[in-house]
Amino acid sequence: MSTPLRPDDPKRIGPYHLHGRLGSGGMGRVYLGSSPGGHTVAVKVIHLDLADDPGFRTRFVAEVAAARKVGGFYTAQVTAADTAADPPWLATAYIPGPSLHEAVENHGPLPTESVAALGAGLAEGLTAIHACGIVHRDLKPANVLLAADGPRVIDFGIARALDATSHTRTSTIMGTAGFIAPEQVRGRAVGPACDVFALGCMLAYAATGRSPFGEGPIEAVVYRVVHESPDLEGMPPDLTDLIEECLEKDPEERPGLDHILNRLAPLAGPAGGFAEGRWLPSAVTEIITERRTKVLTQAVEEPPKAKAASKKPPAQKAKAAPKKPPAQKSKSTPEKKAAAGAKPAPAAKKAPTPSAPASKKAASNDSDSGFLMLAGAAAVVAALLYINVPEFALWVSEGVNNGADEIAVDDCIAQLSDEGFVEVPCWSAAGEFKAVGSPTVDPLADLGTPAGCELTQTIVATENGNMCLEPVEDSDS
């Protein structure tokens, strides 16, 4: 989970308000942030020393372009990026769950069904990555997050696009010892089979709690990767044969992702258990629930607009409490005068039985007026919440118009959890992205461009075709 921001941390990056630190690595720091529409994201900010290196910045531009091509459910979607900023940054959907490394280190190996579900989800995610001409090349337990509805592949900071602008080099080993393929160690060209090898290593780690090539100095580990057989002792029998196939030294001998998916899906149970959110041990599921709840609570409590809106109901209650008793007392004043002896006959005439229905009618009018006043107050509060509180606006919009399959230019949308979109009014608090036009190229036809959209834009598939999106603040400027 995130830790508090430090004094030297930024409070805002691009359109995102930052709430805390998620971690740091060789490329930069990762922050927990929220968009203007209330969507939670992970924002990676590049280290200043790297940002000052022209060669690195050029490579980062290519990496972002590659990452934006990737779709699929089992990957953390890139929502926005600014490669020209100082420092440059990249934002992806936030997954409120532990990494595979964290789950295994703290709670031990996963059961067979969980490992099978994990492998099936990752095989599907890698299929989406490879379909865009990309090889991840740094697939490891720390780069896989566990969500209630399945795993997610994250951190494309090492991925390269296999096109003319690619930075894939045979002279450089990029990856993590113990989870890199022999061809990476040898500095040879890599392809999708490289990720299959890493997938086999991760499944062995998930099932046994250790790397199949052991630990120790990097030189010793990579030697075992190239020359020795993997240690699969303790592997569930149903998974052993498939893992051995994935860990073949020759990439041509490794199975394809479709074969892996077909082998693992039956072991994972119906829908991999993802639909019910029961594919992981209870201890890990509790961590996911706790983090998701904390993020939702934080999102509701922190934004200033949400706090301002919460003060409106008391003000409405003050208006909805008219002082009717004094008005009734004023009507009884003539009767009191009559009782005192002033004009007794008229006083008797003013107290006939028809006055009772009149008082009932007045009470009925007062009741109707009070109801209308309360209804009006409720409508005002609802409107204020819709305009100022992103979570409320998103909830209403999702119920009224669930989906953005027919989104057109100038329509606004908001992203739901970590996948899917819903159309919302551009003026509402939930308005997050605005459709600005269609991509200039087919995302899969021209691998040298970021799906035909600008690098600061994101893309969504609709019934009208792919659409380029910009943050609402930027599109209105």
Do the domains spanning 1-94 and 96-162+173-301 agree at the CATH topology level? no
319 is in an annotated binding site: no
Residue 449 has pLDDT above 50, yes or no: no
Nearest to 450 by CA among 153, 174, 165, 138: 165
- Among the listed residues 138, 155, 195, 411, the single catalytic one is 138
pLDDT at 223: 95
pLDDT at 337: 43
433-437 and 412-415 strand pairing: antiparallel
Q: What is the mean pLDDT of residues 103-119?
A: 96
Q: What is the mean pLDDT of residues 203-219?
A: 95
Cα-Cα-Cα-Cα dihedral sign, residues 220, 242, 140, 447: positive
Q: Hey, what CATH topology would domain 96-162+173-301 get?
A: Transferase(Phosphotransferase); domain 1 (1.10.510)
User: Distance between CA atoms of 78 and 24, rounded to whole angstroms?
Assistant: 18
Q: What is the mean pLDDT of residues 51-79?
A: 83
**Is residue 138 among the annotated active site residues?**
yes
Question: In 132-217, where does DSSP find H-type helix?
Answer: 182-185, 192-208
Nearest to 405 by CA among 457, 453, 451, 466: 466
Residue 113 has pLDDT above 70, yes or no: yes
Answer yes or no: are the C-beta atoms of 170 and 189 closer than 8 Å.
Answer: yes
Nearest to 248 by CA among 296, 194, 288: 194
For residue 360, the number of C-alpha atoms closer than 13 Å in the C-beta half-sphere is 5
Answer yes or no: are the C-beta atoms of 462 and 450 closer than 8 Å.
Answer: no
**What's the full length of the chain, in residues?**
477
pLDDT at 142: 92
User: Distance between CA atoms of 459 and 452, rounded to whole angstroms?
Assistant: 9
Residue pLDDT, tens place only, 326-385? 444 444 444 444 344 444 444 444 444 444 455 555 555 555 666 677 777 777 667 666
Nearest to 425 by CA among 467, 405, 458, 396: 396
In the numeric block, the tokens 């021209």 are attached to 446
- Assessment of whether the complete model's pTM goes beyond 0.75: no
Contacts of 374 (CB under 8 A, 6+ apart): 320
3-state class (DSSP) for residue 21 = strand
pLDDT at 467: 76
Answer yes or no: are the C-beta atoms of 254 and 197 closer than 8 Å.
Answer: yes
Answer yes or no: are the C-beta atoms of 460 and 407 closer than 8 Å.
Answer: yes
Task: Give 1-94's CATH code, choosing from 3.30.428.10, 3.30.200.20, 2.60.120.10, 3.90.1310.10.
Answer: 3.30.200.20
Q: Which of 109-118, 140-149, 183-192, 371-380 has the lowest mean pLDDT?
A: 371-380
Answer yes or no: are the C-beta atoms of 100 and 206 closer than 8 Å.
Answer: yes
Residue 450 has pLDDT above 60, yes or no: no
Answer yes or no: are the C-beta atoms of 439 and 464 closer than 8 Å.
Answer: no
Residue 75 has pLDDT above 80, yes or no: yes
Answer yes or no: are the C-beta atoms of 299 and 293 closer than 8 Å.
Answer: no
What is 134-155 written as a DSSP string?
EE-----GGGEEEETTEEEE--
Nearest to 146 by CA among 211, 90, 202, 96: 96
Residue 155 has pLDDT above 90, yes or no: no
Q: Could you tell me the pLDDT band of residue 60, with boundaries at 50, 70 and 90?
A: confident
Q: Where are the domains of the chain?
A: 1-94, 96-162+173-301
Instruction: Compute the chain's Rg from CA coordinates.
Output: 31
